[in-house]
Structure 1
Amino acid sequence: MAVPFYQLMLVTHRQQTALDDYLHFVETCAKAGITSVQLREKEASADFLFHFAVQLKALLSPLNIPLIINDHVDLALAVDAAGVHLGNSDTCPQKARKQLGHHRIIGLSLESMTDCLTANQTDVDYVAASAVFPTVNKSNIRRHWGLDGLSKLARQSRHPLIGIGGIDESNLNAVMKAGAHGAAMIGAIHNAPDPVAAIQTLRALQH
């Protein structure tokens, strides 16, 4: 049985790392067991994002790892990415679906139960509880779902649900038991002394 693309999503966090070095890091992670990559670089220029996305697509395609673009539907189309991940302030999913067609992935962040109920009536491929736990990697978080909130979302959502925010080796198993189908991560992989070992441990905790 194929592993779902949303099972273990690496969210990019290049910061000041040289691009070639960071691409090598992503390649290492891809070969170690991540199941998709989300390009999320909020402070980057449009030109740099395009260059970065082209490089990621070229790197990931031979490995059959989907590239998801955060926010930018136009960029996803320009580089032939697998799809987009949208927040509440981004392009509405209905408009994105018209632009992207039905063969591309659309993910949607959920910040309230109302968001979940609305998403149930929307043509998206997965939804993300944002954020499950406190995290330093995202500002303007409206709520922390916690395990109880995540469990409620899982019962209500008709789409596959992933967790985002503060998830690591210490709590991933509990996140999955609460009903998540996968997780998107920054710190648990980027900050690991041995990213390969970390990814292998994280994947094991999802079973």
Structure 2
Amino acid sequence: MIIISNPIAVANEIKTVHALFENGLELFHIRKPEFSEEEMKAFVAAIGLEFRNRLVLHSYHHLAKEFGINRIHFSSTNRPDNFSKPNGFTVSTSTHSIEEFNALSEDFGYAFLSPVFKSISKENYEPKTNWATEIKKRINFQTKLIGLGGIQDTNLHQALQLGFDEVALLGSIWNSENPIQNFKLCQQIVLSY
């Protein structure tokens, strides 16, 4: 399971990130679009060294080597057209249709496809397609398909049944009064699937 950072600062965020890792979080995507490079450096530096191999940078990709991070992410709007993956790196991207996902090169280890359900964290962001029929059009099996958008404990099983390989969480964690408990609940659902 993947968790994406809240775009804006959250109280006790680093402490929560550490607790998520200690409870089995596989990957943490750092998506802070408003951060300056210095703020990004400070944020990454605050995360324990033992967790750096599970961090994914959405911006300031050049900082990856400096911090011993070997995972980078491109949004659908900043994804290069002619891209070749740097050696030793895992690269992911965001997509918003099965056609866009199918067109990805094998350089992308996984890709988010969103929104699966009505977003918890973004207002008026909801699916305009029927994923049950769209996912059947999948022809790209080199890239893992990660469901994102509105996924929480009440519909996580449904997202996996639709055909997503894995899921990513954002609003169900950061808009929760107890993010760790919510993560554990979602984790149990994934493990039991």
TM-score by length of 1: 0.79
The one-letter code matched in structure 1 to 2:140 is S
The 8 Å contact of residues 127 and 160 in structure 1, kept in 2 or not, is answered as yes
How far has the Cα of 1:166 moved from its partner? Answer: 0.8
The counterpart of 1:15, out of the listed 3, 8, 23, is 8
The one-letter code matched in structure 1 to 2:38 is D
1:184 aligns with 2:168: yes
CA distance in 2, matches of 1:149, 1:202: 25
- Can you list the C-alpha shifts for 1:20-74, whole angstroms capped at 9, x where unaligned? x21111111111222110000111112101221232362514xxx6101114422
The counterpart of 1:60, out of the listed 45, 51, 72, is 51
User: Residues 203 and 106 (structure 1 numbering): CA distance in 2 closer, same or farther, change over 3 Å?
Assistant: same
Which residues of 2 match residues 1-207 of structure 1 at below 5 A? 8-13=1-6, 15-17=8-10, 21-56=12-47, 58=49, 60-61=51-52, 66-92=54-80, 94-95=82-83, 97=85, 100-101=86-87, 103-119=88-104, 121-135=105-119, 137-138=121-122, 144-148=128-132, 151-152=135-136, 155-158=138-141, 159-206=143-190, 207=193
User: Residues 160 and 17 (structure 1 numbering): CA distance in 2 closer, same or farther, change over 3 Å?
Assistant: closer
> Pairwise CA RMSD of aligned residues?
2.6
- Name structure 1 gaps, 5 residues minimum: 1-7
Residue matched to 1:3: none
Percent identity over the alignment is 19
Q: Secondary structure at the match of 2:147?
A: strand
The 8 Å contact of residues 110 and 128 in structure 1, kept in 2 or not, is answered as yes
- Name structure 2 gaps, 5 residues minimum: none
Structure with higher helix content: 1
Residue correspondences, number: 190
How far has the Cα of 1:163 moved from its partner? Answer: 0.7
TM-score by length of 2: 0.84
CA distance in 2, matches of 1:130, 1:85: 15
How far has the Cα of 1:171 moved from its partner? Answer: 0.7
CA distance in 1, matches of 2:126, 2:98: 12
CA distance in 1, matches of 2:50, 2:136: 37
- Can you list the C-alpha shifts for 1:81-101, whole angstroms capped at 9, x where unaligned? 13112112114275361xx32
User: Residues 93 and 31 (structure 1 numbering): CA distance in 2 closer, same or farther, change over 3 Å?
Assistant: farther
